[in-house]
Structure 1
Amino acid sequence: METLQFRFEQGSRPLAGMAQLVGVVGSGNLEVLIEPASLGGACEIEVRTAAVGFGATWQAVMTDFHERWGLADARICINDMGATPAVVSLRLDQAAETLTGGTP
């Protein structure tokens, strides 16, 4: 298992006042949890993955997600057992849409 940490400063969509926790499990190999957190406008993402050595790919997927959604004051936890980048993006979008009630 590998744990990766990402932090994006100054999101444009604050989660203050949103639901306490949103989770998406649409397939057996990936879980996405998003919760509001006081992070000074930042978005923190922790990825726990069984696919060791794909840090650059995860960085690209997380950067793309943050550019689309711009979540602020959000903590995201991803538990991965080998999902493809496309599935990760889909599940992140589903969780963010459920939490915000909107689209990117």
Structure 2
Amino acid sequence: METLTYRFENGTRALPPQPRVVGVVGSGNLEVLIESMPQGGACTVEIKTAAAGFGATWQAVMLDFHERWQLMDASIAINDMGATPAVVSLRLDQAVETMLGALS
């Protein structure tokens, strides 16, 4: 297992203020957990993956995700067993949409 961590500063989109964890395991090989928590306006991401050596790919996926959502004060944990970048992006979007739906 390889662990990768990322921190994206200066987000502009807040998640619901109450602590909440959303898990998405729709693909059978990926779990995404998002929690709203104080991060000084940042979004932190920790990835645990069985597919070692794909740091550059993960970084590209996470940069794209951050540009799309601009989350602030969020902690994301990803448990991966070999999902493709497209599946990772889809599951991340689903998790955020679920969280933001709680605001409606």
Q: Distance in 2 between matches of 1:50 and 1:17?
A: 32
1:78 corresponding residue in structure 2: 78
Output one character per residue of 1:26-56: Cα deviation in whole Å (capped at 9) or x when no partner. 0210000000111010000000000000000
Instruction: Tell me the TM-score normalized by structure 2.
Output: 0.93
Contact 1:20 1:35 in 2 (8 A): yes
Contact 1:18 1:99 in 2 (8 A): no
Amino acid at match of 2:85: P
* Aligned residues with identical type, % of pairs: 72
Structure 1: runs of 5 or more not aligned? none
Q: Distance in 2 between matches of 1:10 and 1:29?
A: 31
Instruction: Tell me the TM-score normalized by structure 1.
Output: 0.93
1:67 corresponding residue in structure 2: 67
1:16-55 → structure 2 map (5 Å cutoff)? 16-18=16-18, 20-55=20-55
Amino acid at match of 2:14: P
**Total equivalences in the alignment:** 102
Instruction: Tell me which stretches of 4 or more aligned residues in structure 1 moved more than 6 Å.
Output: none
